C-alpha cells in the first residue's frame, strides 16, 4: 500500500495535477452601432469573401441619435458561420454610410481600424468562449473628415 502512495505521488509530480479551469476555445464578437449624428443613415458593411468566395453585404438603418443592438447570435462574421475572429476589423472589408433622406454617400471607410471600440469582454467558461462587445459610434465629425 505504501508503494502505491509513493507511485501515485510520483505520477502527480511528473504529469502535474489536472487543471480545474477550462480554457477558452473561441471568440464571439458583437457590434453595437450608435448614431450620434444629425443624419438618418444606412450603414452598409461589406465583408471579406468567405471560403466559397462570396462577399456578404449587410445594411442597417439608423435614425439620428439612435442605436442598434444585435442579439448574442449575431456573431462572428455577423451572419456567416464560416469565420470566427477576435475583432471586427479582421472581417469587414469596407463600410459605406449613406444619408437616407438625400441618398448621398456621407462616408466610405476602406480600413475599419480605429472605428470600433472594445466596450467590454468577458470569458464564459461554461461555453468555452470569450464574448467581446464592440461599439461603432457615428458622429457628425466623422462626415467632416477628409
Residue 142 buriedness (CB in 10 A; 0-12 / 13-18 / 19+):
middle
pLDDT score, position 11: 65
pLDDT value at position 98?
Answer: 96
- Prediction pTM value: 0.71
Strands (E), the chain: 26-35, 41-47, 56-62, 66-68, 92-99, 105-109, 116-124, 129-138
* Selection from 86, 88, 89, 79 nearest residue 50 by Cα: 79
- The CA distance from 98 to 145, in Å, is 15
Q: What is the pLDDT of residue 139?
A: 94
Each residue's pLDDT, cut to its tens digit, for the chain (146 residues) gives: 677 666 666 666 666 655 556 788 888 777 888 999 999 999 998 887 766 777 778 888 999 998 876 544 443 434 444 445 567 777 788 999 999 999 999 999 999 888 989 989 999 898 888 888 888 999 999 998 75
pLDDT at 25: 84
Question: Which residues are within 8 A (CB) of 104 and not within 5 positions of it... i.e. 6 or more apart?
Answer: 98
- The predicted structure's pLDDT at residue 134: 86
Count of CB atoms situated within 10 Å of the CB of 10: 10
Task: Give the pLDDT score at 44.
Answer: 92
Cell reading at 108:
466610405
Amino acid at each position: 500500500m505504501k508503494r502505491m502512495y509513493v507511485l501515485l505521488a510520483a505520477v502527480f509530480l511528473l504529469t502535474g495535477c489536472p487543471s480545474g479551469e477550462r480554457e477558452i476555445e473561441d471568440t464571439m464578437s458583437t457590434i453595437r452601432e450608435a448614431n450620434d449624428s444629425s443624419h438618418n443613415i444606412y450603414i452598409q458593411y461589406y465583408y471579406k469573401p468567405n471560403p466559397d468566395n462570396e462577399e456578404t453585404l449587410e445594411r442597417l438603418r439608423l435614425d439620428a441619435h439612435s442605436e442598434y443592438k444585435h442579439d448574442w447570435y449575431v456573431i462572428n462574421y455577423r451572419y456567416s458561420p464560416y469565420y470566427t475572429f477576435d475583432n471586427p476589423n479582421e472581417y469587414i472589408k469596407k463600410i459605406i454610410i449613406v444619408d437616407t433622406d438625400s441618398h448621398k454617400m456621407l462616408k466610405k471607410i476602406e480600413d475599419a481600424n480605429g472605428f470600433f471600440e472594445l466596450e467590454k469582454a468577458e470569458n464564459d467558461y461554461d461555453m468555452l468562449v470569450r464574448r467581446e462587445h464592440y461599439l461603432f459610434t457615428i458622429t457628425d465629425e466623422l462626415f467632416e473628415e477628409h
